[in-house]
Amino acid sequence: MSKKVIIGSRGSDLALWQAYRVKSQLEDLGCTVELEIIQTQGDKIQDLSFDKMEGKGFFTKEIEEALLNKKIDLAVHSHKDLETNAPRGLLVAAVSDREDPSELLLIRKEAVNSSKRFSMKEKAIVGTSSARRKSQLLAFRSDIEIKELRGNVPTRINKLREGDYDAIMLAKAGVTRLKIDLSEFHVVTLDPKEFIPAPAQGVLGLQIRENDTELFKLLQQMNDRSVQKRIYIERKVLNLLDGGCQLPLGVYCEEEYGIMKTWVSQAETWEGIPKRLYAENTSAEEIVELLKAKESKRVFISRELKSDSDFKRFLPKGYKLHDESLIEIVPVPFEETPESDWIFFSSSNAVSAFFENKPSYKDGTKFGVIGKATGKALAKYAQADYIGKGNTQKVAKRFVKALGKGSALFPVSDKSLRTIQKKLPKTQVTELIVYKTIQKLDFKLPESDVLVFTSPSNVEAFFNTENSISDQRVISIGETTRKELLKHNVNSVVPWQSYELAMLDMVLAN
């Protein structure tokens, strides 16, 4: 096809990278392509945060006007910048594949504290002008100070370099596309299911005039329909809530085995604790209704939760919580620590019991854990060299590669199910009992709508009393706990990860 296409783009490094990528793709399809740089309101005004700027479309309005006036034929946008109600006469004809939608925290190395959430020191000064980022950051770390941060990606990174901030938050997609060297900073990548990104983050939107049918047909060869399907839900939620950059809203969708999974974080203002929601195969309209609903459920979890736990922090008002472990943890003293190349922990209890005994181990010993919660517990004492995610089969398979021909010590309980150890060569494994579990036999289940079990031992203790399960929703922390429940003919659901925020998402699920 022989066609001349004029692309309109902002002039930032990232915007130009995006425009040149699309230019290259169009040229591969036989087009002649020119590039027109257009300055937007968001580029001109650098001294105000987004929530203080009037209207919407800070980074798109002038480009859309050029498109309507036929000065350009195609606008290349970061899709998250586009208004959800397109100007009359324009449409998004195609979307790109999705770069990693995660958020990045860039932290000055002198401001790192690995024992704190997100590895930031106490009372860190964090730069961002996004209401969504502010809301979620303060929900997780109420001690930090938020300081406004504007400018393109290199400008913002330079402000961090100059010491104006202890840390800044950026979209990983932009940093990846620009191939920026971040070696001088401590970099934390935040799971998009935990710290929920902006709708359509990491996706390019290709916008044209509605009546340009020839260009529309051409762009279908570049359209990623799978991404289009997922971000439709994300942006429709934003549209129904009538939001823009000022709305503290994160929405993220992924499709797995035919199931569309959606995570949402929404707050009324950026100073408020956001409401979380997790839904499966649910329309945007239904998601918005669930966000507006004021439910009241009675929840039991078989763990004594700390005052700053994610489960407590994000549990909606109106919910009643009973948190109580059905087992007691009794440390087992040990005099010598068996020598090994690795020390691997499968629970937070094992971490605490092991290090409270003040063990001695050789320099260069590496540490492995299963699950993020165990990794967080380990961070108080040592840095994890391996954090296993997913089911035990996958964790064991990956750890075997990391272990190589080395040896591994497993600090365990007296009732360990040995889920990881059993999948490793016996000659490379040593076990050390560091705590015992004692069941509470006087536990009486309070009236509950949802039951959350956090270990096989808690399940066993539950059924060793007169307790029973009838019509409650049951959630198990992982596969081994689910299998223990199945022994008692109880079906349960397993969250996307084995830590509190994921378990809460299952409590709130539709």
| pLDDT averaged over 10-residue windows placed end to end, the chain, 510 residues | 85 93 96 92 52 52 93 95 92 97 97 92 96 95 94 93 96 94 96 96 97 96 97 96 80 95 94 92 95 90 93 92 95 94 94 94 93 86 88 83 93 88 90 94 92 94 88 92 95 91 91
Domains detected in the chain: 4-97+202-236 (3.40.190.10), 103-190 (3.40.190.10), 298-326+440-508 (3.40.50.10090), 328-437 (3.40.50.10090)
Confidence (pTM): 0.87
Which pLDDT does position 51 carry in this prediction?
45
- Beta carbons of 454 and 304 less than 8 angstroms apart: no
Catalytic residue among 73, 81, 212, 310: 81
Residues 378 and 403: their CA atoms lie apart, in Å, by 19
- Radius of gyration for the chain, computed over Cα atoms and rounded to the nearest angstrom: 26
Is residue 471 flagged as an active site residue?
no
Number of C-beta neighbours around residue 441 at 10 A: 10
- Beta carbons of 313 and 403 less than 8 angstroms apart: no
Question: CB-based contacts of 467: which residues, under 8 Å, 6+ apart?
Answer: 443, 444, 445
Residues 80 and 95: their CA atoms lie apart, in Å, by 11
DSSP state of 480: H
Residues 257 and 420: their CA atoms lie apart, in Å, by 26
If residue 105 lies in a helix (H) or strand (E), which one and from where to where? strand 103-108
Which pLDDT does position 282 carry in this prediction?
94
Matching residue, tokens 């790109």: 96
Minimal CA–CA distance to 121: which of 144, 87, 149, 93?
144
Minimal CA–CA distance to 374: which of 456, 477, 462, 300?
477
How far is C-alpha 2 from the chain's CA centre? 44
If residue 276 lies in a helix (H) or strand (E), which one and from where to where? strand 275-280
Query: What phi, psi does 359 have (nearest 5°)?
Result: -75, 160
Residues 474 and 299: their CA atoms lie apart, in Å, by 10
Matching residue, tokens 């064991």: 396
Q: Interior CA angle at 311 toward 307 and 317, to 5°?
A: 90
Residues 134 and 122: their CA atoms lie apart, in Å, by 17
One-letter identity of residue 329: I
Matching residue, tokens 């809301």: 135
Which pLDDT does position 294 carry in this prediction?
82
- Beta carbons of 419 and 392 less than 8 angstroms apart: yes
Residues 167 and 157: their CA atoms lie apart, in Å, by 9
